[in-house]
Chain A
Amino acid sequence: MNWITNYVRPRINSIFSRREVPENLWQKCDECGTMLFHRELAENLNVCTQCGHHMNISPRARFTGLFDGGVFVEVDVPEPVADPLHFRDQKKYPDRMKAAQKGSGEKEAMLVATGEIGRTPIVAAAQDFSFMGGSMGMYVGNAIIAAAQEAVKLKRPLILFSAAGGARMQEGILSLMQMPRSTVAVQMLKEAGLPYIVVLTHPTTGGVTASYAMLGDVHIAEPNALICFAGPRVIEQTIRETLPEGFQRAEYLLDHGMLDRVVKRTDLRDELITITRMLMKLPPVVRGELPAPAVKADEPAAEKTAAPKPTESKAAAKS
């Protein structure tokens, strides 16, 4: 939980890696095909500036846009046993893990952090779809439990961004057991009287939907996100008919009573601030330019020396 290793270093790394790959300057929208300038796209939180299509966003990028001044402190997640089943399909599980770690620059498929949004202290957890499809294994289960415990300890709401193809097959039954484990985490929050808000992002499917993603006090989804238990392909094979347009998409789930709201990613931060502040019985948020937050007293003293420069924040202009 060191501010320098967890926050400064990745940022520095990302600056350098960006310079090394100039071909990443442009990205094509998966939906409308428009070539989008990388920086512009990142500033718009990976939402296409042409058609409004929501592309995947890494937990780190999401948190940078979400938290005041882009400042957050990572919460430690207990490391589970590596490759508990000695799983091997066409590749060995540890090899798949290494490839995923290299590809994403992250340790695992979920990131947990504490920080403030519109001066509202929260704990946030976000799932990384780019890491083995965001799949829920023991680490993700541990991350959700750690997030809930941190929220209970600090008496803060938990906001969870789900994104996953489902359970991680390479951990077999132990990945399935994350359904009850994550449910226990949700119960900890409910018993402590703390809000648990789920933001369902594209895609949220399988065992993830059938556990912590559907147990929130408030369910918000990003537009057009696929949210389901069984995927459309499986259903088409079972019932042998073509599914209607928009089936299992966020708007469809909203119509069928499974969600409270469908909110654009660019409006999400304001909406989360409004909802959490009401549920926490805090006064309305002060809108306008605010300096980046000062370092909290409850954080380790070492971090004070590395207080963020307000100029570094792009979120200050957003709030």
Chain B
Amino acid sequence: MTQYLDFEKPLAEIEGKAEELRALARANAEMDVAEEAAALDAKAAKLLDELYKDLTPWRKCQVARHPDRPHCRDYIERLFTEYTPLAGDRNFADDLAVMGGLARFKDRPVMVIGHEKGSDTKSRIAHNFGMARPEGYRKAVRLMEMASRFGLPVVTLIDTAGAYPGKGAEERGQSEAIARSTEMCLKIGVPLVSVVIGEGGSGGAVAFATANRVAMLEHSIYSVISPEGCASILWKNAEKMREAAVALRLTAQDLLKLGVIDRVIAEPRGGAHRDKRKAMDAVGDAITAMLKDLDGKDGTALIKDRRQKFLDLGTKGLAA
């Protein structure tokens, strides 16, 4: 059952009609609806193309947050083998908002780390909707450090609304945990590549995405603050999220222009959730390409490459 976004309403109607026709035909063997249904399908496909051709920044936010969008767990299942989760920060707890462990990417052993939002009510609660607490970042620090010592490349998959704003999280040093995770990203002498697969929410994303190479799915977002948060502060009205989404330049296309990311990964028609396999394979290809880019660089060169990349950032505005 497809979940439609508000701007997909006309599409829902057409697809609904086609479905109804087919259901009628199944009940009544004499009816021939093939032609009519096919016409509706074609109409739906055309509309889908139109809707997704020029998604506004706010619509991209909606697609990036789509509940059916493939999540970290799906990517790990599809693109990696021998995934062996490693748990815990050796200090307080295991934070399920962050999953990670050893795995093979095209036979090459790597460390994979990502935010997991969960896919139904129960798992969403267990994963805290992908909003990590300090333990999540500290687990990531532990895994990155280990990867560095054993010479394993690190692949991070970013999909979080942000770090969890909770009482316990603050008590246990949320800021320090994020700062240490970003610091570890900059310290490891192994290739570090990131893909923003859904939401890249502020510090919670930076903590894993301070990488040699960063790619973004076409309809994912990466921002300093959510459009709703920005609207409530600068417009004093959270309903102005559409305007805020435009002003923040949070789309993959704008971030590529600003030099913040290195590549945009095309999504299947109608977004990653409409053809998960195709979307995930495209991400796999991007990871392959990014790792290949870094082949042959030793640890010192990789660290230097990463630092220089961030030091140079922000010399480009959108003016051009």
A residues within 8 Å of B by Cβ?
Answer: 80-81, 83-90, 138, 141, 145, 167, 169, 171-177, 179-181, 183-184, 186-187, 206-207, 209-215, 227-230, 234-235, 238-239, 241, 243, 247-248, 256-258
| Cβ-defined contact, B248 with A207, below 8 A | no
Interface set, chain B 95-127, CB cutoff 8 A to A? none
User: Which residue from chain A places its CB closest to the CB of B237 in the assembled complex?
Assistant: A90
- In the assembled complex, B156 has its CB within 8 A of some CB on chain A: no
Q: B203: which of A141, A179, A213, A243 is its contact (CB, 8 Å)?
A: A179
CA distance A215 to B207 in the complex (A): 14
- On chain B, which size bracket covers the interface? 35 or more
Contact partner of B179 (CB less than 8 A), chosen from A87, A138, A169, A210, is A210
Check A238 against B310 for contact (C-beta < 8 Å).
no
Residues on B with C-beta less than 8 A from A86 are 318-319
**Which residue of the partner chain B has the closest CB to A80?**
B314
Tell me whether A207 and B182 are in contact (CB under 8 A).
no
CA distance A230 to B319 in the complex (A): 33
Are B250 and A209 within 8 A (Cβ)?
no
Q: How far is the CA of A206 from the CA of B170 in the complex (A)?
A: 11
Cross-chain contact A173 with B317 (CB below 8 angstroms)? no
Q: Are A235 and B165 in contact (CB under 8 A)?
A: yes
Q: A176-B202, A229-B163 are in contact. Are A84 and B311 (CB under 8 A)?
A: no
Are A88 and B247 interface neighbours, CB within 8 A? yes
- List, sorted by A's number, 5 A–B pairs whose CB atoms are closer than 8 Å: A89-B247, A90-B235, A183-B182, A187-B183, A248-B170
CA distance A214 to B171 in the complex (A): 14
Across the interface, A230 reaches (CB within 8 A) one of B174, B234, B235, namely B174
Decide: B166 and A235 in contact? CB cutoff 8 A: yes
Pick from A87, A173, A184: contact of B310, CB below 8 A: A184
Given contacts A90-B234, A183-B179, A258-B176, contact A230 B224 (CB under 8 A): no
In the assembled complex, B291 has its CB within 8 A of some CB on chain A: no
Whether A180 pairs with B206 at a CB distance below 8 angstroms is yes
User: Given contacts A89-B243, A90-B235, A228-B170, are A176 and B223 in contact (CB under 8 A)?
Assistant: yes
**Count of A-B contacts judged by CB separation below 8 Å:** 173
Evaluate contact between B183 and A84: CB separation under 8 angstroms: no
With A172-B224, A172-B249, A180-B186 known to touch, is A81 a contact of B315 (CB < 8 Å)? yes
Once the chains are docked, how many angstroms separate the CA of A19 from the CA of B164?
Answer: 49
* A-contact bits for B162-180, CB 8 A (1 contact / 0 none): 0111110111111110111
Question: Which listed residue, A138, A175, A210, A238, touches B178 by the CB 8 Å rule?
Answer: A210
Q: Once the chains are docked, how many angstroms separate the CA of A186 from the CA of B222?
A: 25
Give chain B nearest CB distance to A97 CB in angstroms. 14
Which B residues are in CB contact (< 8 Å) with A241? 167
Is B148 part of the binding interface, using a Cβ–Cβ cutoff of 8 Å?
Answer: no
Residue of B nearest to A208 (CB): B175
Chain B residues, Cβ within 8 Å of A186? 183
Cα distance A238–B244 in the bound complex, in angstroms: 21
- Nearest CB of chain B from residue A147's CB, rounded to whole Å: 14
Please measure, in the bound complex, the distance between the C-alpha atom of A234 and the C-alpha atom of B314, giving whole angstroms: 29
B residues bordering A, Cβ < 8 Å?
A: 163-167, 169-176, 178-180, 182-183, 185-187, 202-203, 206-207, 210, 222-225, 230, 233-235, 243-244, 247-250, 255, 258, 260, 307, 310-311, 313-319
Contacts of A213 in B (CB 8 A): 175, 179
- Collect the chain B residues with CB atoms within 8 Å of residue A235's CB: 165-167, 170
Residues on B with C-beta less than 8 A from A257 are 173
**Nearest A residue to B163 by beta-carbon distance?**
A229
Given the complex, which residues of A lie within 8 Å of B175, measured CB to CB? Answer: 209-210, 213-214, 227-229
Given the complex of chains A and B, what is the CA–CA distance between A167 and B223 in angstroms?
Answer: 11
B265 to chain A, nearest CB (A): 18
CA distance A138 to B235 in the complex (A): 23
Which of A86, A169, A180, A215 has the most CB atoms of chain B within a 10 A radius of its CB? A180
Query: Is B223's CB under 8 angstroms from A172's CB?
Result: yes
* Interfacial chain A residues near B319, Cβ < 8 Å: 81, 84, 86
| Complex alpha-carbon distance, A184 and B187, angstroms | 9
Task: List B contacts of A80 (CB < 8 A).
Answer: 314-315
Given A210-B174, A228-B170, A247-B167: A174 touches B182 (CB 8 Å cut-off): no
Whole-angstrom CA separation of A227 from B166 in the bound complex: 14
Distance from B56 Cβ to chain A, minimum over Cβ atoms (Å): 16
Give chain B residues whose Cβ lies under 8 Å from the Cβ of A138: 314
Q: Which residue of A lies closest to B313 (CB)?
A: A177
In whole angstroms, what is the CA distance A247 to B165 when docked? 13
Q: Is the CB of A207 within 8 A of B224?
A: yes
Contacts of B167 in A (CB 8 A): 235, 239, 241, 243, 247
Q: What are the 6 closest A-B residue pairs judged by CB atoms, nearest first? A: A230-B165, A84-B317, A209-B175, A89-B234, A210-B178, A176-B224
Q: Which residues of B have CB within 8 Å of A85?
A: 247-249, 317-318
> Given A187-B187, A209-B179, 17 other A-B contacts at CB below 8 A?
A84-B258, A84-B317, A86-B318, A169-B248, A171-B224, A173-B222, A176-B223, A177-B206, A177-B313, A179-B206, A207-B202, A210-B175, A210-B182, A214-B179, A241-B167, A248-B170, A256-B173
